[in-house]
């Protein structure tokens, strides 16, 4: 018998309520139930970071989190971050600097960067450290680090 639970949380600024299987991952709930396919799934083992979303403002692996664990939280996916323009500068800088190629890792990278940039002046080493849980097969990481560093500097500019 499948065990289900009622959950309610705030997703991209909107209330969401659902009855979910106890073992359903948040990533699958977002992608398959809610059709928010901007959150990507790579390894499904917490290694690659493609599935990162923000939960209560902190980046979190949605492949390691159960949908029931989202109950009562505030979740932001790439769709919500984009719609609110919260990371428009990061997205523009990623595009300008070729920090995305196939784009598969990009939503997770941006979620990680969004959290990191709450810290106003990360060093290059801190940016690399923050990104160490996000795999990219295409870019070699330099352009991604450059883009995040540039946005950090621009946000600090008077």
CB 2, min distance to ligand FES, A: 23
Shortest approach of ligand FES to residue 135 CB, angstroms? 7
Of 23 and 137, which has the nearer Cβ to ligand FES? 137
Please write down the HEC assignment for all residues of 79-130. Answer: HHHHHCCCCHHHHHHHHHCCCCCCCCCHHHHHHHHHHHCCCCCCCHHHHHHH
Site for ligand FES in 101-120 (CB under 6 A): 101-106
Residue 63 binds ligand FES (CB under 6 A)? yes
Sign of the CA dihedral running 95, 101, 107, 113: negative
Site string for ligand FES, 118-137 (x = CB under 6 A): ------------------xx
54 and 81 Cβ atoms separated by less than 8 Å: yes
| Minimum distance, C-beta of residue 158 to ligand FES, in the bound complex (Å) | 33
Question: Counting every residue, how long is the chain?
Answer: 158
Residues binding ligand FES: what is the number (CB under 6 A)? 23
Half-sphere exposure of 33 (CA within 13 A, CB side): 14
* Interacting residues with ligand FES (CB under 6 A): 41-44, 46-51, 61, 63, 100-106, 136-139
């Amino acid at each position: 018998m499948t065990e289900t639970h009622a959950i309610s949380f705030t997703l991209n600024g909107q209330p969401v309520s659902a009855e979910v299987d106890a073992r359903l991952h948040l990533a699958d709930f977002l992608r398959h139930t809610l059709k928010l396919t901007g959150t990507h799934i790579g390894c499904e083992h917490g290694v690659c970071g493609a599935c990162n979303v923000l939960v209560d403002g902190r980046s979190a692996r949605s492949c390691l989190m159960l949908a029931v664990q989202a109950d009562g939280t505030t979740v932001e996916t790439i769709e919500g971050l984009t719609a609110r323009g919260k990371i428009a500068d990061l997205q523009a800088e990623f595009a300008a600097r070729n920090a995305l190629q196939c784009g598969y890792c990009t939503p997770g990278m941006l979620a990680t960067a969004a959290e990191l940039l709450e810290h106003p002046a990360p060093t290059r080493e801190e940016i690399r450290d923050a990104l160490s849980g996000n795999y990219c097969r295409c870019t070699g990481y330099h352009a991604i680090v450059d883009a995040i560093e540039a946005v950090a500097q621009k946000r600090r500019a008077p």
